[in-house]
Amino acid sequence: PPADRLEQRPLVGGFVAARLTYGYMDRIDVPSDLGAAGLLTGTGGASFFVGRNAIRAATRPGMPLIPLLIFRFLHRNAADPTAFFGIPTNRVVELGSQIEL
């Protein structure tokens, strides 16, 4: 249920670890759920950290060609996580790495 969706744990320095749990058919809107719990108050707003990996071709591929091409295709066409979670793009910090396949 939406009332049980948010789990909070206080951290050192005034930070809070928040865990949101959604069901399969639930509409995901992270900023609204955090704002309803009072976690997005303050003058500076909140920053959201999103991990993103880039797939690069290795000089010596470690997997067969067909699965590699399928994986690269699916990775490239995956949904944007900021749009999926309903996060405003001006509040996102992307951290990532490059993976050679």
Contact between 53 and 94 under an 8 Å Cβ cutoff? The reply is: no
Q: Nearest-CA neighbor of 7 among 15, 68, 17? A: 17
Summarised one tens digit per residue, pLDDT across range 41-98 is 776 778 888 888 888 777 887 778 888 888 888 888 888 888 888 888 888 999 999 8
Rounded to two decimals, what is the model's pTM? 0.69
Q: State pLDDT tens for residues 25-48.
A: 888 999 889 888 888 877 677 888
Decide if 92 contacts 30 (C-beta within 8 A). no
Q: How far apart (Å, rounded) are the C-alpha atoms in residues 30 and 97? A: 24
In one letter, which amino acid is 12?
V
**Please, which residues bridge with residue 8 across strands?**
18
H/E segment holding residue 55? strand 48-56
